């Protein structure tokens, strides 16, 4: 396919640059000793026709991308009607989160893709009520919104309260919870869900390594 040819061409173009840096590191193994923890070296745009030296490296801070992708989520009208028709359990509390997990990758159109895994866990007993995997290419908000909708539909129950870790998903899920008359509570920790995530991560990594 075309994208395989593009990636192969990029790999062939990058191999000489990687080789040049490996030779530099072989002669100067201590080049990382005095750099800041968040700094990484960049090679010159054009590799000179000679061996590289430490002076050729351009050290730059590795900065996280700006926080984005947490806009409010609006489900499709038909799914919202199905959610509103579910049985209510006002005294029940669920824990919910959506995130990238180690080992949670899959193939999408023949290419490996990280998956955003959403988990809905009953707080009292720690039971996993619903799990869904969305493409890592989706924004965090989209993945969380679709994940919560899918999990609630599988559970066939509307809780009185949904507890989320921190406030990052609050602007995403608040409109949906308001429409369903569910309290949305940010919390500093999600004990039941964290245990489920740890078990799922171990299972995924074990499966990957076998």
Structure tokens at 164: 């989320």
pLDDT at residue number 199: 84
Task: Estimate to the nearest angstrom the gap between the alpha carbon of 129 and the chain centroid.
Answer: 20
pLDDT at residue number 178: 97
What predicted TM-score, i.e. pTM, was given to this entire model? 0.68
Domains of the chain plus CATH, in order, are 2-61 (no CATH), 77-209 (3.30.420.10)
Q: What is the pLDDT along the chain (210 residues), one digit of tens a residue?
A: 555 678 788 888 899 999 999 999 999 999 999 888 788 999 999 999 999 999 999 999 887 666 678 899 999 999 999 999 999 999 999 999 998 776 666 666 767 777 888 999 999 999 999 988 888 778 899 999 999 999 999 999 999 999 999 999 999 999 999 999 999 999 999 999 999 888 887 776 665 443
pLDDT at residue number 205: 63
Q: Which of 134, 209, 123 is nearest to 161 (CA)?
A: 123
Ranges of H-type helices in the chain: 2-27, 77-84, 140-155, 170-179, 191-209
CA distance 22 to 56: 14
CA distance 93 to 87: 14
CA distance 185 to 12: 50
Strand, helix or coil at 64?
A: coil
CA distance 85 to 67: 35
pLDDT at residue number 2: 55
Helix axes 77-84, 140-155, angle to 10 degrees: 40
pLDDT at residue number 208: 45
Q: Are 123 and 192 in contact (CB under 8 A)?
A: yes
């Amino acid at each position: 396919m075309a994208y395989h040819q593009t990636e192969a061409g990029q790999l062939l173009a990058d191999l000489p640059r990687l080789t040049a840096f490996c030779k530099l590191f072989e002669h100067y193994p201590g080049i990382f000793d005095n750099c800041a923890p968040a700094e990484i070296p960049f090679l010159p745009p054009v590799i000179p026709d000679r061996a590289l030296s430490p002076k050729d490296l351009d050290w730059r801070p590795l900065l996280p991308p700006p926080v984005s992708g947490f806009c409010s989520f609006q489900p499709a009208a038909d799914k919202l009607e199905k959610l509103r028709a579910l049985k209510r359990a006002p005294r029940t509390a669920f824990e919910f989160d959506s995130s990238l997990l180690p080992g949670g990758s899959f193939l999408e159109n023949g290419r490996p893709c990280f998956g955003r895994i959403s988990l809905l866990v009953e707080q009292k007993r720690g039971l996993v009520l619903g799990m869904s995997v969305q493409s890592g290419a989706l924004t965090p908000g989209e993945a969380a919104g679709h994940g919560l909708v899918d999990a609630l539909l599988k559970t066939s129950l509307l809780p009185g309260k949904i507890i989320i870790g921190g406030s990052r998903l609050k602007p995403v899920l608040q409109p949906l919870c308001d429409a369903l008359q569910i309290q949305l509570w940010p919390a500093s920790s999600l004990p039941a869900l964290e245990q489920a995530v740890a078990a799922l991560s171990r299972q995924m990594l074990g499966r990957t390594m076998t």
